[in-house]
Amino acid sequence: MSRVLVAMSGGVDSSVAAALLIADGHEVVGATMKLWGGDSDSGCCSVADVEDARRVAQQLGIAHHVFNFGSDFDAHVVEPYVAAHAEGRTPNPCVECNRHLKFDRFLRRATQLGFDAVATGHHARVVRHPAGGRYRLRRGVDQAKDQSYVLHMLDQAALARTLLPVGALTKAEVRTRAADLGLRTAAKPDSQDVCFITSTGGRHAFLGSRIPLRPGLVIDDDSGEVMGSVPAVELVTVGQRRGLGDAGDARRRYVVDVDLAAATVTVGPRPPMMERLAVGGLTWVDEPVAAGASVLVQCSAHGDAVPAVFDVDGESDGEVDGAGAGVRFEQPHRVVAPGQSVVLYDGDDVLGGGVALASASALADGRL
């Protein structure tokens, strides 16, 4: 059996992942990544989480280490997150954490220490095709907890050395396994998505301490009238409905455009829709998808995958100039904010993914 380094976050999923690998006969060691040194109340980066991971490792009878990757986390996750908001994009920090920390920095450390593979508690599955030995990344069995979306950047080299033991279990089954083993994390609540954004301060407090946040006017798309204001245009996302103030007429309004330079937010009575979405920074689990191929596209971690066609206008250079990669939806789709991850599936299999590039206003107006 293999020597496996398990990324133990202090949560129930990674605790059970380690237990399952031990039961399968692997030589298992646990390690917790200390990523964020600031305030955290999300349940994945606090001192208490490190202690939970250490105590679970002790219960399981395995060694436990703590790796301080704080500088890497700041450089590859926090700083790009701040820069994206300053430029009017809506980033996905969990994707970048997986890309740069859990399946790069952590994997490289495992190699240096002589481990054969790494494992995490993600709800997704790695499946090796019997013919040819190529690897597939597949949705977790528990569709409600599936995390394949945030792992779409994993390629063949990474998948060959990655184990995802809880992907074949439902969340209820994971908790039952933990309870049966008497693990201290059995009933621990799931962590929130962004570990460095506290529930008390929110994005406004976090970003406001790092970049200037400018108040903006809310403009009605039809009449051009000023409907109210927002405290920070950098925090407004296209398609957003909440947090736009009350115009006094009880009508729902959706953000259809954000103009950072003019500090204005344009709203309309209907969510902005799009037919084509330009996608850049594409990575593939295996071979690239051919232009014209039918795919399922998921544009948020908890969204539904919808039918689309992968297309390429001219040379796929990843730029939004009418000549790049993108997807054409079979039915009009709500506008996807620039910066969001766009993941392509074939059934339950992840094909690859990238980042939404096109400006929401251009798409909403039908110019692309």
Residues 6+ away with beta carbon under 8 Å from 150: 92, 94, 95, 98, 122, 301, 341
**Domain CATH number, residue 350:** 2.40.30.10
CATH number, residue 261 = 2.30.30.280
| Predicted structure pTM score | 0.91
Together in a domain, 229 and 112: no
45 is catalytic: no
| Active-site annotation holder among 44, 94, 195, 299 | 195
Domains of the chain: total: 3
Domain enclosing residue 237, as ranges: 214-268
**CATH number of the domain to which 121 belongs:** 3.40.50.620
Of 164, 181, 198, the domain-final residue: 181
- Residue with token string 């908890």: 302
| Interior angle at CA 110, CA 92 and CA 188, nearest 5 | 55
- Domain membership flag for residue 196: no
- Specify if 189 maps to a domain: no
User: Residue 3 burial (CB < 10 Å; 0-12/13-18/19+)?
Assistant: middle
Determine the pLDDT at residue 320. Answer: 36
Distances (CA, A) of 265 to 68, 225, 330: 40, 12, 29
Q: What are the CA-CA distances from residue 37 to residues 72, 111, 196 (Å)?
A: 12, 25, 9
Q: Which residue blocks in 226-366 are alpha helix, DSSP H?
A: 360-364
d(CA 353, CA 360): 19
Domain boundary among 126, 160, 181: 181
Burial class of residue 9, CB neighbours in 10 A (0-12, 13-18, 19+): buried
Q: Which two tokens stand for residue 19?
A: 């237990």
Residue 194 lies in a domain: no
Q: Which phi and psi (to 5°) does residue 263 adopt?
A: 55, 50
Asked whether 91 and 237 are in contact (CB, 8 A), the reply is no
Residues 239 and 340 in one domain: no
Distance CA 343, CA 363 (A): 19
- Of 268, 289, 311, which residue is a domain's last? 268
Distance CA(295)–CA(310), nearest Å, equals 7
Residues 142 and 233 in one domain: no
44, 94, 97, 299: which is the annotated catalytic residue?
Answer: 97
The pLDDT value recorded for residue 235 is 94
Q: 298, 240 in Cβ contact below 8 A?
A: no
Closest to 217 (Cα-Cα) out of 170, 284, 263, 174: 263
Has residue 82 been placed in a domain?
A: yes
The verdict on residue 303 lying in a domain is yes
Segments in the chain below pLDDT 50: 315-323, 360-368
| Alpha carbons 68 and 78: distance in angstroms, whole number | 15
DSSP β-bridge partners for residue 124: 139
198 part of a folded domain:
no
299 assigned to active site:
no
> Token pair of 269, please?
């009575």
CB neighbour list of residue 131: distance below 8 Å, 6 or more residues apart: none
Do the domain assignments include residue 190? Answer: no
Q: Is residue 203 part of a domain?
A: no
Non-local CB neighbours of 35 within 8 Å, separated by 6+ positions:
45, 69, 70, 73, 77, 97, 101, 195
Residue 43 pLDDT:
55
Nearest CA to 6 out of 228, 169, 173, 162 is that of 162
